[in-house]
Chain A
Amino acid sequence: MKYIVSFKSYIWAVLCMAVIVSCTPKMAVETTTPEVNVPVVDTEAWRSQAPSPSPAPDFNLGDYEEFALDNGLKVIVVENHKLPVVSFQLFVDRGAILEGDKTGLTSIVGQMLRRGTVNKTKAEIDEEIEFIAATISTSSSGFYASALKKHTKKLLDLATELIYEPSFPQEEFDKIVQETKSGLAFSKSDPNTISSNVSGAILYGKDHAYGEFVTEETIENISLEDVKEFYSKYLIPNISYLIVVGDIDVAEAKELATSYFSDWEGNPNFKVHEPVFPSPPAQNSVSIVPKEGAVQSVIDISSTIRFPHNSPDRLAASVMNTILGGYFGSRLNKNIREDKGYTYGIGSRLSPDRYVGNFSTSASVRNQVTDSTITEILKEMKRMQSEKVSEEELSLVKNVLTGQFARGLESPQTIARNALNIARYDLPKDYYQTYLSRLEKLTADDILAAAKKYLNPNQLQIVIVGNDEEISEGLVAFDGDGNIDYYDIAAEKVDKKPMMSAEDLGVTAEEIIAHYIEVIGGQDKLDNVKSVVMVTKAETPMGNLSTTIKTKDNSKVNMKMESQGMTIQEIIFNGFKAKVGGMQGNQIIDDPKEFSRFKAMAKFCPESDYFTSGEYQVEVKGTEELETGQAYKIRLTSMDGTVTTEYYDIKTGLKQKMVNTVSSNGQEIVTQQLLGDYKEVDGIKVPHTITFSGGGMPFEMVQKVEKIEFNTPMEDSVFQVE
């Protein structure tokens, strides 16, 4: 059941992607064949050599001015008169914030600032901003506003109105909460989100400002009052910077800053929250977040480091990381992507931070090469620490960084960002002025020393989101004490009971299914069911969904799904022909090869035919601990390649869960159904709650059975396909 939804920004991103460009990855290529056709021209011998560069140009790093207002607001002005454009950025340097059970509040505050003021609705704000072709965005730490110079006054009027007189309308708050929840539902099953959430929680701790993450519960806990409180506590001038960039001189900027910001009241007692430094583990620690049916593992390897922005060896460390995993030709990418072909891309980051810096590297790889990838990552880290980098590689990376630095200077915003960094992190005034000469002077010894200091290949947190069953064996070796920890997606540690193999069980698939049929009522009762009417309801973020399914003689089906009075999807199958319809138009399917899905829908108890229809290959895969208890695991492979894993509770014999993997256009689509709330209907146990997830559906959908009836008289016309 895929029909509904999609997360709108996702859709839009996808659309835009399809529209704008299509790019290709580079491919490694061998050189062998002789050239075939070359236009004949006079060869000029000098052409055979690449020209050498002319002397390095002078870098004129734009200058900036700095001053402060009486209320403590620091102002940075970068003049750039190339274009008649100005920008004002207000940045509240409020440090880390421990949000606790209200994680997500900062993000909501940032959005709320743009949604209404005492005098204006959101629509009026949009209109006024767009009227002068300006950009104004807000966040919990201020705003960014830019426009043509001639609109400066209007621009500042609007931007300051947003932060001085926000009205925080309840209606907009509800909307944001709803959107945030939809987004969460969408990202909940995304392995990259799971990886970043759980890795952070393990590395820093769940109750650490850097380790906490947003969940539906934390969003539920946030009230409009919290937003207002946050606003009055944190939006204060004495911890803030105003960064003015563009076609403006210092005197003018001073005048504007004074008139727009000097009445803003500060709070001299404000204390910044200082997160503690969590020590890395004594030895490498492997954690797994099991993801059923996954064909790829998301690997995240990280460690905390003491690495403030003003570390004297920061540049050496950053060059070291660039060599390891900081550009396309880096060692990690060359080894793991280009040579081995394990992944589409891998990189490493070395992030400075006042309180807790970190090193991290991550990649998505096929299940089979999960352990090999980790081996290679550790190997490259150790090589950085044991071998001096060659002059050739060092000078290449210096060139790459010089080019990056030079190109960055094209934007006056870079100058502003540099100025802000100098102020915030207490860097030497000439930090960027001397960047290139310091870079030039770095030696292989400096790089080696930085690698020894900042890479901890024996004290890493190794977190893998993936198919536990297929990867865990190879991962034990990386764990210092040989004990892999297991976490759920909420970053809670879970007990992982050892699985029993099929042989250990001494139970066959036939026995498990026979037991299931017995406990739900027995084959005789099932045989008596000639027709079924079932109505289910589901509440979704996109509205309520009601589904009516009618089946007859285990061979005909009529299914209709409706939302807000509209038919979203309709399927009618009479055994010979199917009609599939929806919001626009109908499709008739009369190719028997496509009938299997309709046939399965039409059957009241498909399990009865698992071993007789010849359509499936069935095998026992052992046991597994579900939230509902220990369950037998059975794998069904159907003729068309669809793989379904089913779980039957060992105690009750009831089916608890189904995981379906289908290949479509080379992509694996995994969907999951949880079956619960079994109730007897005419002596047959039927699950009354079915929870769907996966398959690109942006949220979990809980379908509740509202009505189910057997053997209600039903005309064949119900299943008529015209």
Chain B
Amino acid sequence: MRKCIITCLFACCMAGIVQAQMNKIDFEEFDLDNGLHVILHQDKSTPIVAVSVLYHVGSKNEEPNRTGFAHFFEHLMFEGSKYVNRGEFDTYISNAGGVNNANTSKDRTFYYEIFPSNQLELGLWLESERMLHAKIDEKGIETQREVVKEEKRQRVDNQPYGTWLNNSFEYAYKEHPYKWSVIGSMDDLNAASNEDFENFYKKFYIPNNATLSIAGDIDIEKTKLLVRKYFSTIPKGEEPSRPAVVEPPLEGNIIDTVYDNISLPAMFLTYRISKQTDDDIYAIQMLNTILSGGESSRMVKELKDKQQLAIQVSNFPMELEDPGVSFIIALPNVGRSLDDLLDGIDGEIEKVQNELISEQEYQKLLNNVESSFIRGNSSMVSIAESLANYHTYYGDANMINTEIEKYMAVSREDIREVARKYFDPANRVILYYLPKQQNQ
């Protein structure tokens, strides 16, 4: 399916860490006069092309009384445009043998299509229509409002543990717009007027807030001409404002219990961490891998296999443009208490805070970092997305080639240091999920 909210890059974190590549990825980049940033990567090994546009707008750019707008917009952007009739975005793409999708995070919205490479121009036309001519009408707003509500019901409300992420963020932030969920409040969506939508489009769906990233079997010079043809006359907008909220520290534990339609209790711990562009993030990711990356990781081996306290335990950081969070998720084994499991988890964290990880573990960690990095960019669409991300957040698309050095520079001491700095047992959110009691 499509139109996805990436509420978190869980899969990516689970798989290991980040991406990039030993074989250097060459690319060209330039700005159009209207501020659109363009990145082109040529790879002629397969006759396909990925066309993507990243808009630097996510749920954190929303007004507090208009939450869910960024994601809602993603839906509206498939409704049609001046020259693309309602529903025809998809038809054009599938008729051309392509596939497409989009997703929204707290920081950005990302659209992409993958085509046989002779359909490059079609992709550019469709994306330029989206940027220039989006058709936002009553009918589309009404339809998509219902679709989003259904999406929320299906994916959050009716899903066992479906609310954990939203609840955790709500407790972890008091001031920052990260506190509300990407899918947002249905009341806010109901209250929105057409004018609100028009303003949002004008404010964020502008070339100077977007990155067009193209990867695949392309002729660079020809592609430049086509990009100019479709995008250079799109008018520049006003520089969008970014939230400047600085979230105060947590100052203590926040503990709550949620009763849900579930059969097994679960526990969700949230720790506040640095922003993704901070060098600490690399040590934090590696710490997470030590703790629960794989069957032979510390928490899995000790808490799941040996002590049999948990049936599952996992942790992962959620890197964000502003300071983010790191989660630990655990499901106790039947007959084992959440308290014992929490003690077990804290014991493992205490160990990494007090003792350096072994040389053997450190080497394993570097091997894993290297492997993930090399394997990360194996498809054209993942290269296009990484280039756009690196440009948007770090102002340096070449991080796709160099970020590995940041990981390799992390020492065993750095890992101990971030464990001490960010994983404070007296400074976190503890959320218990318990079965709503039912009997027959």
Contacts and interface: CB of A to CB of B under 8 A. Distances in A.
B161 A18 contact: yes
A22 interface: yes
A47 B83 contact: yes
Given A38-B133, A133-B16, A33 B159 contact: no
Contacts of B129: 47
Nearest to A673: B440
A549 to B, nearest CB: 10
B399 interface: no
A19 B136 CA distance: 30
Interface string A397-414: 001111110110111000
B148 A24 contact: yes
Contacts of A563: 334-335
Nearest to A559: B439
A407 B434 contact: no
Interface stretch (B274-282, B361-369, B390-398): B361-369
Contact of A403 (B10, B16, B116, B329): B116
B186 interface: no
Contacts of A1: 438-440
Contacts of A84: 22-23, 374
Contacts of A24: 1-3, 75, 147-148, 150-151
B375 to A, nearest CB: 6
Contacts of B357: none
A14 B378 contact: no
Nearest to A57: B47
Interface size of B as a range: 35 or more
Nearest to B165: A19
B137 A34 contact: yes
A21 B103 contact: yes
Contact of B162 (A18, A37, A559): A18
Secondary structure of the B contact surface, majority rule: mixed
B95 interface: yes
B5 A665 contact: no
Contacts of A697: 263
A665 B157 contact: yes
B165 A36 contact: no
A648 B72 CA distance: 54
Contacts of B11: 16, 20
B427 interface: no
Contact of A50 (B92, B138, B147, B363): B92
A380 B331 CA distance: 48
Contacts of B379: 410-411
A251 interface: no
Interface string A356-393: 00000000000000000000000000000000000000
Contacts of A666: 153, 158
B156 A18 contact: yes
A103 B412 CA distance: 50
Interface stretch (A291-299, A423-431, A564-572): A564-572
A36 B141 CA distance: 11
B116 A51 contact: no
Interface in B1-32: 1-11, 16, 21-23
A587 B432 CA distance: 14
B159 A39 contact: no
B337 A83 contact: no
B440 A660 contact: yes
A671 interface: yes
Interface in A312-326: none
A2 B435 contact: yes
A230 B296 CA distance: 29
B263 to A, nearest CB: 4
A4 B138 CA distance: 48
A12 interface: yes
A686 interface: no
Given A11-B160, A566-B337, A21 B440 contact: no
A3 B434 CA distance: 10
Contact of B437 (A53, A147, A401, A569): A569
B371 A5 contact: no
Interface stretch (B195-203, B242-250, B347-355): B195-203
A22 B197 contact: no
B306 to A, nearest CB: 9
Nearest to B157: A665
Query: Which interface residue of A28, A51, A54 has the most chain B CB atoms within 10 A?
Result: A51
Contacts of B162: 18
A404 B115 CA distance: 9
A6 interface: yes
Contacts of A406: 46-48, 97, 116
Contacts of B301: 123
Interface in A12-65: 12, 14-39, 41-44, 47-60
Nearest to B183: A22
A26 B90 contact: yes
Contact of A583 (B116, B311, B434): B434
A201 interface: no
Contact of A14 (B16, B161, B234, B293): B161
B61 interface: no
A426 to B, nearest CB: 28
B116 A571 contact: no
Given A36-B194, A133-B16, A402-B116, A83 B23 contact: yes
B291 to A, nearest CB: 13
Contacts of A85: 374-375
A213 to B, nearest CB: 26
B8 A20 contact: yes
Interface stretch (A124-132, A514-522, A618-626): A124-132
B440 A671 contact: yes
Contact of B263 (A60, A131, A667, A696): A696
15 contacts: A3-B435, A11-B331, A20-B8, A23-B4, A31-B87, A33-B137, A37-B194, A38-B133, A39-B235, A56-B118, A57-B47, A133-B16, A559-B439, A564-B335, A697-B263
Q: Which 8 A-B pairs have the closest CB atoms?
A: A403-B97, A57-B47, A22-B155, A133-B371, A564-B335, A23-B1, A580-B437, A51-B121
Given A8-B312, A131-B296, 18 more contacts: A16-B10, A21-B4, A22-B152, A25-B147, A32-B139, A38-B136, A39-B132, A41-B132, A49-B83, A57-B47, A83-B22, A123-B296, A123-B301, A131-B364, A406-B46, A410-B48, A569-B439, A585-B257
Interface of B: 1-11, 16, 21-23, 45-48, 75, 79, 82-83, 85-87, 90-92, 94-99, 103, 114-122, 124-125, 128-129, 132-140, 143, 146-148, 150-162, 164-165, 183, 194, 197-198, 201-202, 217, 233-235, 257, 259, 261-266, 293-297, 301, 305, 311-312, 329, 331-332, 334-338, 360, 363-364, 367-368, 370-372, 374-375, 378-380, 432, 434-435, 437-440
